[in-house]
Structure formats: C-alpha cells, structure tokens
Amino acid sequence: TQLLEQSPQFLSIQEGENLTVYCNSSSVFSSLQWYRQEPGEGPVLLVTVVTGGEVKKLKRLTFQFGDARKDSSLHITAAQPGDTGLYLCAGRTGGGNKLTFGTGTQLKVEL
C-alpha cells in the first residue's frame, strides 16, 4: 500500500509569513500533484510535477519534486488569508489514472 505522509498536519500562521508543506513516501511516483480544497468544495488542482528535481512556480507558490520522485514540497511565500485551505498531495504510479492522496495539511492564514 502506497502511503503519502504530509507534514505538518495543521498549520496556523499570520499573514505575510512563509511556510513549507512536505509530502513524503517510500514509493516512487511517475508524477505528483498538489490540490487545494476549500470547505464545502472539491479539491482543485494546483500543479503537476513529473520529473525528479523539477521545480514549478505558481505566483507565490513553489512546488518541488524530489530527485528520487518519492517526495515533494510546497512553499508559500508571504501567505495571505486567501491561501487558507486543505492542501493535498497526490501521487500517480505508472501511466494509469489512479491517484493516491496524501494525509493532508490544513492551513489557516490569519490577518
């Protein structure tokens, strides 16, 4: 069974602070995705990384895929209240459609 452990599980910070969320596994993934989920809604895809060592930036969000494709990180610079939500990583093995989701990180950014 593939497990994706996210840390921290909960994070409460002030507006303007930086933060990093980690997603770790002992399994190798062909690609890894990050989603954000807001209360009462479904997850929304933020990014997909496919190459070991790949770094992608989405405005204030920076995503990195580990060299061995077993882990990933999400760094948010100067967090804003609008960043509040549940962040989920999800890995895909092989070429199929099955996604294994991480344990989730609940982020709250306060004014």
Partner 1 sequence: DTAVSQTPKYLVTQMGNDKSIKCEQNLGHDTMYWYKQDSKKFLKIMFSYNNKELIINETVPNRFSPKSPDKAHLNLHINSLELGDSAVYFCASSQGRYGGEQFFGPGTRLTVL
Under rule CB under 8 A, residue 46 binds partner 1: no
Whether 76 contacts 87, CB under 8 Å: no
Minimum distance of partner 1 from residue 60's CB (angstroms) = 22
**Helices (H), ranges, the chain:** none
Minimum distance of partner 1 from residue 91's CB (angstroms) = 12
Binding window for partner 1 (CB under 8 A); candidates: 11-19, 21-29, 42-50, 74-82: 42-50
Residue pointed to by tokens 């507006």: 15
Indicate the residue type of 6. Q
Whether 10 contacts 103, CB under 8 Å: no
Contacting residues toward partner 1, per CB under 8 A: 31, 37, 40-45, 48, 86, 88, 92, 95-101, 103-104, 106
